[in-house]
Structure 1
Amino acid sequence: MNELRFEQVSVRFGGRRGMTAVDGVNLVVPQGQVVGLVGESGSGKSTLARAAAGLTPVSAGRILFNGEPLRHRRGEPKPLQMVFQDPHSSLDPRMSIGDSIAEAVPRSGRSTAAGRAAEVQRLLGLVGLDPQRAFSYPGQMSGGQLQRVALARALAARPQLIVADEITSALDVSVQGTVLNLVRELQREMRLSMLFISHNLAVVRYVADSIAVMYLGRIVEQGPSEQILGDPQHPYTKDLLAAVPNQNNPGLQPAAVEPALSAVTDAEPADPHHPPLGCRYHLRCPIGPLVLPGRDICKEADPSAEGRRHAAACHFSDELLLSGREGLL
């Protein structure tokens, strides 16, 4: 059972007067499934990923793998590997591609230089690269090729779960589809569990079995991908969907789809160092107190997700009107 579980996980920087980047997150990545984690820059997605990889300490809560606390001890096999956004910075420019991948291959009593070289050749072929690329250096390869190398390097460690953090955002649009196809094929073939992080719902919908939406350090909605995309229950999720070009009319703007959105388009995102009281999204919400009178509860009380569809943390999620949602699927 390769299940990753976050239980009330919080990550805080700077002591008491610092910033809480992740605040009480509950999230499960089931065995053999891809969970898409989406949200704007600064929402806490990458911090949560780094906490899972042991790169950022957890301030509260716990992270479990197969029901046991996830530990990252030097010299021990790691069940989780992370693929970063920028492959140029995650690969040593002074090491050949083959040496970078071989470095991640687990050492054992029977491990030999020839065996590791053969494994490097196999992994390069697995990610669709010429095995002769083992003798190349990062500076001789494109961004898309390097991201394939980063995937091969992660797979070299024989992980049970992959955390992919914005792995297509630094690539040209023409290359993104190729990398996404590769990710989906590898995940299905190897039955890997995966936490796939992106700010782009159009990317996440292509690979994810379920989706969790994050805003200012909290999960505000989560559920099966088809349900989240077809019937979002939180205004922020709907706002993210409105930003995706409509397939039937790519030129359609969100304000034309839903006039209420225009009332809050000028609102700045809340300061993550000082998040607002109540619902953290109320300053930008199209069905919140800035648009509709009599909804002061949004400014006063933190909404509970319990008992609501998709665990949507919104006081008025049941009243959210979804005009034109058919064009989003």
Structure 2
Amino acid sequence: MSDLVFDAVRVHYGHRRHGLTAVDGASLTVPSGQVVGLVGESGSGKSTLARAAVGLAPLTAGRVLLGGTDVRQLRRGRRPLQMVFQDPYSSLDPRMSIGDSIAEAIPRQAGRGAAERRAEVVRLLEQVHLAPDRAALLPGQLSGGQRQRVALARALAGRPQVVIADEITSALDVSVQGTVLNLVRDVQRRLRLSMLFISHNLAVVRYLSDQVAVMYLGRIVETGPTEEVLADPRHPYTRELLAALPGRPGRSSFLQNAEDDAPGLGEAADPHHPPPGCRYHPRCPVGPLVHADRGICRTDDPAEGAVSRAHRSACHFAPAADLTYPTPLRGDSTL
């Protein structure tokens, strides 16, 4: 098993002046055998970062490393990274049987004959709690939850070191989401897989993840152990995400000094023209729109000093990493 490392990854689409930088200098580590939950609003760059890891989005700068090796340099035929996509309806060929779809993902260098490959398909179906007789069915004959299980089995067919799961429950009925999440957690623990789990649902992230990373407008703004970050977030964006959850109590003490007309969670800035300095400052409830003496947020990038702050928070006014203080969100059972 090896760490998956995103090293200052940048993904830019289009021309330099008129294009879009979907991911801008994102650095993140998925430790071996652990689950890292990646959260953020739609358009924050989460899926683009995932697609960059598996070669579906071109890197403009930076590297994605697996065990210290650039994933672009892995020998042809190896599939140490596998991705499970959000939509189970479009991730499988509707004209191909379930068994053939899974068999297609088994590496050819495994040297298995037809009988062995059929046996491997049966094993993989059982691993995701599907009956072997499902192998003869077409995707259209399965429910959404069953199709997502097949997609997971297909990812496992390559014997990956890392699985990237991109919003894999958001397209499913609420009644089956829990079943799929339990399956994912069981498979990850049993096989000791490393996993990057992308979701906008903080409750799901807390359930599955050992660590959590928060992404905003193409950048990682906070990262750390899940319970620590969710109990005591140090970036105002993370705290606003938590405060926006249904049934959540009012704003934390970190935000108590914000004025009643503070911007809060309005719409994100235009990703084609991100603001200078801290990208969150135009909507930050504790930033320069509320505190006139915090002009540094408009001019200086807080990511440069993040390593010295708690949870590597990209906020000029987050406490240093060696400071501790009361944590008003700890013990909250609403997530």
TM-score, L = length of structure 1: 0.93
Distance 2:97 2:110 in 1: 25
**In the alignment, residue 268 of structure 2 is paired with which amino acid?**
P
Distance 1:72 1:83 in 2: 22
Deviations 1:108-135 (A, max 9, x none): 4741111111111111111011111111
Matching residue of 2:266: 267
Shift in Å at residue 140 of structure 1? 1.0
SS, match of residue 263 in structure 1: coil
Matching residue of 1:5: 5
Is 1:298 the equivalent of 2:297? Answer: yes
The answer to whether the Cα contact below 8 Å between 1:54 and 1:72 also exists between their aligned partners in 2 is no
Matching residue of 1:157: 158
Counting only pairs closer than 5 Å after superposition, residues 82-121 of structure 1 correspond to structure 2 as 82-108=83-109, 110-121=111-122
Matching residue of 2:40: 39
Shift in Å at residue 243 of structure 1? 2.1
Matching residue of 2:14: 14
Matching residue of 1:63: 64
SS, match of residue 319 in structure 2: helix
Stretch deviating more after TM superposition (144-153 or 99-108): 99-108
Distance 1:12 1:309 in 2: 29
CA root-mean-square deviation: 2.3
Distance 1:109 1:12 in 2: 37
Matching residue of 1:227: 228
Distance 2:99 2:73 in 1: 25
Identity %: 65
The answer to whether the Cα contact below 8 Å between 1:267 and 1:283 also exists between their aligned partners in 2 is no
Shift in Å at residue 200 of structure 1? 1.3
Change (3 A) 1:107 1:315: same
Shift in Å at residue 3 of structure 1? 1.2
Distance 1:47 1:200 in 2: 18
Matching residue of 1:182: 183
Matching residue of 1:192: 193
Aligned residues: 325
The answer to whether the Cα contact below 8 Å between 1:6 and 1:64 also exists between their aligned partners in 2 is yes
SS, match of residue 181 in structure 2: helix
Distance 2:181 2:276 in 1: 38
Distance 2:2 2:110 in 1: 26
Change (3 A) 1:219 1:177: same
Distance 2:111 2:24 in 1: 45
The answer to whether the Cα contact below 8 Å between 1:37 and 1:212 also exists between their aligned partners in 2 is yes
Structure 1 moving runs of 4+ over 4 Å: 72-75, 251-255, 319-325
Deviations 1:68-126 (A, max 9, x none): 11127785111100000001111000011111001101224741111111111111111
Distance 1:273 1:324 in 2: 35
**In the alignment, residue 289 of structure 2 is paired with which amino acid?**
L
Distance 1:102 1:148 in 2: 15
Stretch deviating more after TM superposition (50-59 or 73-82): 73-82
Distance 1:126 1:267 in 2: 43
Distance 1:169 1:291 in 2: 35
Stretch deviating more after TM superposition (175-184 or 284-293): 284-293
SS, match of residue 15 in structure 1: coil
**In the alignment, residue 15 of structure 2 is paired with which amino acid?**
G
The answer to whether the Cα contact below 8 Å between 2:8 and 2:63 also exists between their aligned partners in 1 is yes
Shift in Å at residue 262 of structure 1? 5.7
SS, match of residue 196 in structure 1: strand
Distance 2:73 2:85 in 1: 18
SS, match of residue 108 in structure 2: coil
The answer to whether the Cα contact below 8 Å between 1:8 and 1:26 also exists between their aligned partners in 2 is yes
**In the alignment, residue 287 of structure 1 is paired with which amino acid?**
V
Shift in Å at residue 263 of structure 1? 2.3
The answer to whether the Cα contact below 8 Å between 2:264 and 2:285 also exists between their aligned partners in 1 is no
Matching residue of 1:148: 149
Matching residue of 1:281: 280
Distance 2:67 2:102 in 1: 27
Distance 1:251 1:223 in 2: 22
Matching residue of 1:310: 311
Matching residue of 1:123: 124
Where do 5+ consecutive residues of structure 1 fail to align? none
SS, match of residue 299 in structure 1: helix
